[in-house]
Chains A and B, each alone.
Chain A
Amino acid sequence: MSGSFGSLSFGILPWLIAAWLFAVGLYGIVSSRNYVHLIGCLAVCQSATYVLLLAIGLHRGAGPPIFYDHPPGTRAVDPVVQALVLTDIVVGAAVTALLLAIALQVQKRRGSVDPQALRPLRPTQ
Chain B
Amino acid sequence: MSPRWRLLLLTLALLALAPGLWRVARAMPPFGSPTSLYGPAINQLAPAARHVSNMVAAVNFDFRGFDTLGEETMLLCAVTGAVVLLRGSRGEGGRDRAGRLPGRTVAPRADATVLVCRLSAALVLLFGVYVVLHGTVTPGGGFQGGVIAASSFLLLYLGEGYDVWRRLMRGPLLQLLEAGGALAFVVAAAVPLIRAHPALTNLLPLGQFRSLYSGGLVLVVNDAVGLSVTGSFGMLLLEFLEETRSSASDPVPDEEDT
List residues of chain A with CB under 8 Å of any chain B CB.
8, 10-16, 19, 23, 26-27, 30-31, 33, 55-60, 64-68, 72-73, 76-83, 86-87, 89-91, 93-95, 97-98, 100-102, 104-105, 108-109, 116, 123-124
* 18 A-B residue pairs with CB within 8 Å: A15-B24, A19-B25, A30-B7, A65-B56, A72-B44, A72-B48, A78-B38, A79-B55, A79-B58, A80-B59, A81-B39, A83-B59, A86-B144, A87-B143, A93-B233, A94-B74, A109-B252, A124-B257
B28 A80 Cβ-Cβ under 8 A: no
List residues of chain B with CB under 8 Å of any chain A CB.
3, 6-7, 10, 14, 21, 24-26, 28, 30-36, 38-40, 42-44, 47-48, 53-56, 58-60, 64, 68, 71, 74-75, 78-79, 81-83, 85-86, 88-89, 137-139, 141, 143-144, 147, 210, 229, 232-233, 236, 239-240, 243, 248, 252, 254, 256-257
Interface contacts beyond A79-B59, A87-B68, A87-B143: sample of 19 additional A-B pairs, CB < 8 Å, sorted by A: A10-B31, A11-B30, A23-B14, A58-B31, A59-B34, A60-B32, A65-B54, A66-B56, A68-B54, A77-B39, A79-B42, A90-B147, A90-B229, A91-B71, A91-B78, A95-B78, A98-B79, A101-B82, A116-B3
Q: A16-B25, A116-B3 are known contacts. Are A94 and B82 too (CB-CB below 8 A)?
A: yes
A15 to B20, CA, bound (A): 13
Q: How far is the CB of A72 from chain B (nearest CB, A)?
A: 4
A79 to B42, CA, bound (A): 8
A78 B53 Cβ-Cβ under 8 A: no
The number of residue pairs between A and B whose CB atoms lie closer than 8 Å in the complex comes to 164
Q: How far is the CB of B43 from chain A (nearest CB, A)?
A: 5
A30: chain B residues within 8 A (beta carbon): 6-7, 10
A118 to B233, CA, bound (A): 30
B48: chain A residues within 8 A (beta carbon): 72
B32 A58 Cβ-Cβ under 8 A: yes
Q: How far is the CB of B61 from chain A (nearest CB, A)?
A: 9
A33 to B112, CA, bound (A): 41
B85 A79 Cβ-Cβ under 8 A: no
Residue of A27, A60, A66 near B54 (CB, 8 A) is A66
A73 to B48, CA, bound (A): 10
B36 A108 Cβ-Cβ under 8 A: no
A94 B236 Cβ-Cβ under 8 A: yes
A51 to B199, CA, bound (A): 32
A56 to B43, CA, bound (A): 16
Q: How far is the CB of B249 from chain A (nearest CB, A)?
A: 10
| CB nearest neighbor in B for A67 | B53
Q: How far is the CB of A74 from chain B (nearest CB, A)?
A: 9
| CB nearest neighbor in A for B87 | A101
Q: How far is the CB of B193 from chain A (nearest CB, A)?
A: 23
Q: How far is the CB of A78 from chain B (nearest CB, A)?
A: 3
A90: chain B residues within 8 A (beta carbon): 71, 75, 143, 147, 229
